[in-house]
Amino acid sequence: MNKRIILGVSGSIAAYKSPDIVRRLQDLGAEVRVILTGGGREFVSERSLQTVSKNKVHDNLWDSEAELSMGHIELAKWADVVIIAPASANTIAKLCHGKADDLLSTVILATSASVMVAPSMNQQMYASLAMKDNLELLQKRGVRIIDPGFGEQACGDVGEGRLAEPSEIARQASELFQNNALGGKRVLITIGGTVEAIDPVRFLSNHSSGKMGMALAYASIQAGAETTLVIGSISVDVEKRAKTIFVTSANEMHEAVMANIHDQDLFISCAAVADYRPTKVSPNKIKKDSDKQTIELVANKDILSDVCQLKDKPICIGFAAETENYINNANQKLKNKQCDAIILNDVSNSAIGFKSDDNEVYFIARDGTDKINKNSKQIVAEKIIKKITKEFF
């Protein structure tokens, strides 16, 4: 399925979040075009939406210039999905009545795309009987409702009615793009950095954010796999649809992986596992009582290597975070660890790798190397999962 999304932005204070929604949808690999209603324009600038969507914002049903390029019927046909977020009470009421008095309502009538509506309004308005009936009617017609959240509202009220988070809107939209490339398969992914205690206060760790691993988790779930995550230290939201096991140290990660590996079809070792840990963990905070301190380290078990040694091992994919001599080092890792492929990234380049939203990797298998060009980690993850599916399943 293509991922062409129209985002309808209507008149609610939460319209200020719409550029973020555009970004989140783009992270799914979608092309986004925005339709801004008159009410929406009161809360967010056309320029912001045009800049993030990289497309002209559509706003006028009667714009003859627009009709020559992409008028309401072309827009309606172009879209695979139309999401109205925020959807004001008035916009929702118009949809119920099939009105066609502005560009957004007309496109909704003229489209055969899936329609999603994310209501956003004052809690009393949201709780009204008219709104309940309207949303029920839309649901009966096949419109998906992205439920609003509960909390403090811009007007000062507290209750249900605030726009769902942009990440949640994107997550629900993405369910429409699921494929079944890994349907029936089980995938285990390690994610994030490990933390090795020195004393009750200090530890050794690394810069891993978990972004790449979580993007892979998402792509694996989108491909229909039953996905288990062994998660170390991360600074990203956890994918809610996965089975999750949280760990701290490399030893704990090793234990969790070994306890869950036996019925897996695919193991992706994305975690930045500490190669060493302090030989002794001081039970008390180490005091600053001398000019020099030495911490003796002992090697951790290599989780990826150990999984690759299993008799009925799953397909094993490792990562190589390198700063020099990239391809050679990665090929060496492929051989030493005896995995099926290594995904290599250059962590010396801050525009890609560790904390960045983007990545560029090489997929190194025994029979050759493929480059996956720079893109958002989500798109790179999707390409990696596609490549693994093609090569090994």
Rule CB under 6 A: which residues touch ligand CTP? 190, 250, 269, 271, 273, 275, 300, 302-304, 318-321, 333
Pairing of strands 243-246, 226-231: parallel
Nearer to ligand CTP, 135 or 303 (CB): 303
Q: Which residue has the tokens 């205690």?
A: 197
Contact, 225 vs 266, CB < 8 A? yes
Instruction: Give the nearest distance from C-beta 59 to ligand CTP in angstroms.
Output: 48
Nearer to ligand CTP, 319 or 354 (CB): 319
CB-based burial of residue 22 (10 Å sphere; 0-12 exposed, 13-18 middle, 19+ buried)? buried
Nearer to ligand CTP, 9 or 330 (CB): 330
Nearer to ligand CTP, 263 or 275 (CB): 275
Q: How is residue 62 annotated by DSSP?
A: T
Please measure the distance between the N-terminal and C-terminal CA atoms of the chain and give it in whole angstroms: 21
Pull the structure tokens for residue 328: 């050679």
Report residue 202: phi and psi, to 5°.
-105, 160
Q: Catalytic pick from 96, 155, 308, 339?
A: 155
Handedness of CA 206, 207, 209, 213 (dihedral sign): negative
Pairing of strands 31-36, 4-9: parallel
Instruction: Give the nearest distance from C-beta 308 to ligand CTP in angstroms.
Output: 9
Instruction: Give the nearest distance from C-beta 333 to ligand CTP in angstroms.
Output: 6
Pull the structure tokens for residue 103: 């560009």
Instruction: Give the nearest distance from C-beta 153 to ligand CTP in angstroms.
Output: 44
Contact, 157 vs 185, CB < 8 A? no
Instruction: Give the nearest distance from C-beta 274 to ligand CTP in angstroms.
Output: 7
Q: Catalytic residue at 96?
A: no
Nearer to ligand CTP, 190 or 209 (CB): 190
Q: Which residues are catalytic?
A: 155
